[in-house]
Structure 1
Amino acid sequence: MKRNRPLNEEKRKAILKAATVEFYEKGFEGSSMDTISKKANVSKATVYNHFKSKEELFLSIAYMLKDRFSQSFRFEYTKDKSIDEQLNNIAKKEIDFLTVKENIELIQIVTIVLIQKNEIGVKLLEEVNEDNITMTTNWFEQAHKDGKLNIDDSEFIARQFIGMIKAFAFYPQLYGAPLLDKKEQERVIKKSVEMVKSLYLVK
């Protein structure tokens, strides 16, 4: 039994990889477990052994994206670090995540289903949270309590800050624009941080 476990895990990964390609190319409705099994080079029965339905397979990909998101946005407000340094760190985490081609493709897959507002889309809306907004909102709240930023709505400022980054490093890429190069990334980070400081930093 022990010898089969690595092989089973390899097959699961192969199925998820094949499903990601299939959903990206054809969307949820246009994809089939048949084609996914062929792309993964496994039997259809093997696919169903790992995932009971196409919906479960799709949700596994969505949760995989959520886990990546959660792992990427781990930070806390630190009193002994400057606002400038911490804002740069938050912006860099967002940029780093959004300049990985595979992450953008996963987001595109999930976004299409959310837009369709079908049963699986509704389930995703209920279960998948914006961890980057939550973490950033908490950070702004702590910075405000520490007297460093003058704000009255932490979530609004968090969305404003992350939204400016996404305006350059996410939304255009959803429609096929190239990922930002290093110089462009640095410029977006710098301008986003400057915007927050100019509007909300306590002088």
Structure 2
Amino acid sequence: MTETSTVLRTGRKFDQVLKGAREVFMADGFEGASVDDIAKAANVSKATLYSYFPDKRLLFREVVQTECGRMSEQILSMVDETQPAREVLTVAAQQLAAFLISRFAQQIFRICVAERDRFPELGRAFYEAGPRNGCKQLMDYLEKAIAKGELQIDDVELAAEQFSELCKAKLWMEVAFGVRTSVEQAEIDVVAHSAVDMFMARYGV
């Protein structure tokens, strides 16, 4: 099947398939994840799995989009845009920094990099659902903060990208290269607060 095949998102076993696929992709990567193992983990038949996802790439993309969407909704639910920009950005930074070093984000990143040449659409799917979507949402907020006179930014897209990179300081690199296997919440908070401090020092009014 081609990447343009449609995905059936209805039916009582859809969530089971996604959950099973998530477990197998996380454990075995993309290439190592077999349809048999995914069907077994989801407790469905191969026929049922194929009725939802005729192509493994579609299934991977759906897992990524679902998880990134859940993360985005979580951040938005915790943000109160009536609060000062520093407080809003601190909440966003804490959540983003934690997600970037989460087991899911790290494993999906590794899969996308490992399969970049053979399956470039995997990386594009993660980029669009994760980093790019997050950047767009942050840009929307920054525009509002600018309109309220809290921030002064000429290039909003660049500023949003810079904010995301600040949230990766120190911890992301250590986790990505296996230097660290666990991170305390207090360490995440330090990175998040420092990111906001630097961002506000540059763009705050």
Which band: TM-score by shorter chain?
0.7 to 0.9
Question: Within 5 Å, which residues of 2 pair with 1:99-178?
Answer: 100-110=102-112, 112-113=114-115, 115-116=116-117, 118=119, 120-121=121-122, 124=125, 128=129, 130-176=132-178, 177-178=180-181
Query: Structure 2 unaligned runs (5+)?
Result: 1-10
Larger radius of gyration: 1
Letter in 2 for 1:120: E
The structure with the greater share of residues assigned to helix is: 1
Distance of aligned partners of 1:155 and 1:120 in 2 relative to their CA distance in 1, 3 Å threshold:
closer
1:26 aligns with 2:28: yes
Closer, same or farther: CA 99–123 of 1 in aligned 2, 3 Å = closer
**1:86-114: CA deviation from partner (whole Å, max 9, x where unpaired):** 2212212313434543454445445544x
Task: Tell me by how many angstroms 1:34 deviates.
Answer: 2.0
Count of residue correspondences: 191
TM-score of the superposed pair, with normalisation by structure 2? 0.74
1:17 Cα deviation (Å)?
Answer: 3.0
Equivalents in 2 of 1:37, 1:187: separation in Å?
Answer: 42
Aligned to 1:188: 191
Amino acid at match of 2:97: I
**Cα drift, residue 126 of structure 1:** 8.5
Matched residues, percent identical?
Answer: 29
The 2-side partners of 1:190 and 1:173 are apart by 19
Residues 171/65 of structure 1: CA separation in 2 closer, same or farther (3 Å cut): farther
Q: CA deviation at 1:63?
A: 1.9
Q: Distance in 2 between matches of 1:126 and 1:170?
A: 17
Q: SS at 2:183's partner residue? A: coil
In structure 1, stretches of 5+ residues that fail to align are 1-7
Q: Is the 8 A contact 1:65 1:103 kept in 2?
A: no
Q: Greater CA deviation, 188-197 or 68-77?
A: 68-77
Shift of 1:181: 0.7
Aligned residues of 2:17 and 2:38 also touching (Cα < 8 A): yes
Q: Structure 1 pair 24/111, CA: closer, same or farther in 2 (3 Å)?
A: farther
For the aligned residue pairs, the C-alpha RMSD in angstroms reads 3.0
| Structure 1 residues 109 and 76: alpha-carbon distance in aligned structure 2, compared to 1, 3 A threshold | farther
Please tell me whether the aligned partners of residues 151 and 200 of structure 1 are also in contact (alpha carbons under 8 angstroms): yes
